[in-house]
Amino acid sequence: ETFDATGLHLLPGAIDAHVHYREPGYTHKEDWRTGTAAAAMGGVTTVFEMPNTNPPTATVEALRLKQKAAEKAYVDFGLYGLLAEDNLDQLEALIEGGVAAFKCFMGNTFGNLPSPSTGAMLEGFEIIARHGLRISLHAETASIMALRQKKLMEAGRTDPLAHLASRPAVVATEAVSRAAVLAEWTGARIHILHISSGDELRPLRDAKARGVDITGETCPHYLLFDENAYTDLGPIIRVNPPVREKHHQRALWEGLKDGTIDMIATDHAPHDPEEKTREVIWRADCGFPGVETQMALMLTQVNAGSLSLTDYVRLSSTAPAKAFGLFPHKGALVPGSDADIAIVDLGRRETIRAEALHSRGKITPFEGFEVVGVPVHTLVRGRFVMRDRKLIEEATGWGLSVTRVQAMPKPEPRHVDETTAAITGGKSGQAGSS
Ligand code: DOR
Ligand code: ZN
Ligand code: ZN
């Protein structure tokens, strides 16, 4: 069997540090099979999955349920454990049980998990810091948002723009600053999820300058939409934190270029059509799928000249691999990368169609977007999980937890001369036998 990659580009598979797969608990929105099929179709070879399922991944028992659900995965995955007010006594056991990182909800969102007090965060940070795992933060301050929303509701606002008004940038900026101070105090490694405003970049830059081990991500929707989206898309664009005004979008692009923002993740958050499109904005579920469309959307930006291909590789693969401890096995362009590969056609044009997505949640604000640059094959640890734009159905179950993959024995790099000999059909002659 031969494989022809003429005219294609070979990239390290994307590592999406932020997806919600809904199983257990909300499988009418998504499950591990559909969610990781979407990843495979999108050139994404590793995902980090969030704990706001039912039950939330706050105890070892809940972690076992999630590990069972994840046995269907097409791609590799890290599981987030929850850091909450009432599970500090579970954190060590979750680490022992194989979580790859922690998630802390400073603000309320889907799943209605209560946000921990600053004191509980501090204690949790101390415990987790001893083990070196990264803590990802949904950095929005619950108390300020509750007050804003109450006032808007009293004023009778039910329109989509009221969502933006209820979660102004100060809400996120205050939370980023507080998390960074706690990280500095405890030595914890932290990651700021879904940066949506230019204002958050200031405390992020400050913390980096002080030597805090802090990283940040933004998502395609903050880079590609602005406040006009509320008129065009109504409840479909409702997401936490909200898509904001144009000047924030511009600042995020700046932050990507100057290195303040380390990576691109998607906050893949599929919902059922009925729950997603309720007319009163407060009742429409927040978020939309993203893991399948990220690479095509961002390669389109590469083609448009907004981003270089090397910057894209850093943002989508190298940086998350470094931040979440996936070297030497996973991640871009380093010895020992374990053949997690996206093969892309930079010239291919497609129109994003929600109906064609593999995610169960079909409502996406990217419906109808014209993209140029599409992943055509995806390999996870050397095996095709997507080929010629088709899912390899029987690869379900191939995906493994990154904490297991990282523990596997690492191959010794061969001497350059030997490798060259093998490639050219010389003495050991293992390569090129297909
Ligand atoms: O819009 C969002 N949806 N933001 C979040 O933080 C959570 C996510 C979800 O799980 O639906
Ligand atoms: Zn979040
Ligand atoms: Zn999220």
Distance 291 CA to ligand 2 centre (A): 15
pLDDT digits (tens, 9 = 90+) for 172-199: 999 999 999 999 999 999 999 999 999 9
pLDDT digits (tens, 9 = 90+) for 323-374: 999 976 676 555 557 899 999 999 999 999 999 999 999 999 999 999 999 9
The pair of three-digit structure tokens given for residue 308, joined into one six-digit string: 């270089």
Which ligand has its closest atom nearest to the C-alpha of 111? 1
Q: Which residues of the chain have pLDDT under 50?
A: 420-434
pLDDT at residue 412, rounded to an integer: 64
Q: How far is the CA of 426 from the centre of ligand 3 (A)?
A: 50
Query: What residue ranges in 222-261 does DSSP mark as E strands?
Result: none
Query: Does the CB atom of residue 56 touch ligand 1 within 6 A?
Result: no
Ligand 1 centroid, distance to 286 Cα (angstroms): 5
> Look-up: residue for tokens 């294609």?
8
CA angle 180, 182, 185 (to 5 degrees): 110
Q: ipTM, 2 decimals?
A: 0.98
Q: Smallest Cα–Cα separation from 236: which of 225, 251, 252? A: 225
CA of 138 relative to ligand 2 center, distance in Å: 4
Q: Is 134 in the pocket of ligand 1 (CB under 6 A)?
A: no
Q: Whose CA is nearest to atom 3 of ligand 1?
A: 287
Q: CA nearest 344: which of 2, 16, 13?
A: 13
Atom of ligand 1 minimally distant from the CA of 239: 1
Q: Is the CB of 392 under 6 A from ligand 1?
A: no
Ligand 1 within 6 A of 138 CB? yes
Largest CA distance in the chain: 79
User: Which residues are within 5 Å of ligand 2 (an ion), measured at CB?
Assistant: 138
Report the atom number in ligand 1 closest to the C-alpha of 271: 11
* Å from CA of 115 to ligand 2 middle: 12
Residue 109: per-residue pLDDT: 92
79 CB-near residues (< 8 Å, 6+ apart) = 48, 49, 51, 57, 63, 66, 67, 70, 98, 99, 100, 401
